[in-house]
Amino acid sequence: MKVFGKWDPTEVEVRDPGLKDYICLKPMYLPHTGGRHAKKRFAKAEVPIVERLINRVMRTEKNTGKKHLAYNIVKRAFDIIHERTGENPIQVLVQALENAAPREETTTIIYGGISYHEAVDSSPQRRLDIALRLITEGAQQRAFRNPKPIEECLAEEIIAAARYDTECYSIRRKEEIERIAEAAR
């Protein structure tokens, strides 16, 4: 079974050992679990990564709650990724998530009326959540007040993050988060 009837997730390789358990590559034609994971703790690790991307794309002003529209955006973005790279778009997405996931971030600690930031390691699930958020935010910012469609902007953001291009939004934000955490050590 292939995602969107085209892309085989079983041949995708996850290189980051921390994210391996949280990137679900279960073969599924239509990535739609219907929220069955919502009431169980850590169950979103069982949701296919393509569906998680679709759910993130669905969380913007114009696309809120329109899963079919988000599904079509991701489907067309995958076609563009395949056109430009010649690779399996799911593999490119996984590489982009591995590159855009920050390893360290800061938390605010309040002690005796004084608040300060302290560096903490990010859990793998949170790393993946942040990476998905940064990639979709980058695509939305590129598409805003731009004649380019969101599908093309999403494809460009995923490709740039997979290549670790420091000009793309997700990689720039990841490095900023890690730089702030390093300063807070």
Residue 130 contacts residue 107 (beta carbons within 8 Å): no
pLDDT of the residue at 38: 85
pLDDT value, residue 13: 94
Domains of the chain, by residue range, sit at: 9-105+123-175
Q: What is the pLDDT of residue 101?
A: 96
Tell me the pLDDT of the chain (185 aa) as tens digits.
888 889 999 999 999 999 999 999 988 888 888 888 888 888 989 999 999 999 999 987 788 889 999 999 999 999 999 999 999 999 999 999 999 999 999 999 999 899 989 999 999 999 999 999 999 999 999 999 999 999 999 999 999 999 999 999 999 999 999 999 999 98
Q: Any idea of the CA torsion for 129, 180, 166, 97, to the nearest 10 degrees?
A: -20
Q: How many CB atoms lie within 10 A of CB 47?
A: 21
User: Helix/strand/coil (H, E, C) string of 71-88?
Assistant: HHHHHHHHHHHHHHHCCC
Q: Write down the pLDDT at residue 30.
A: 85
Give the pLDDT confidence score for residue 49 in this predicted structure: 94
Instruction: Check: CB of residue 14 under 8 Å from CB of residue 94.
Output: yes
pLDDT at 65: 86
Fold classification of 9-105+123-175 (topology level): Ribosomal Protein S7 (1.10.455)
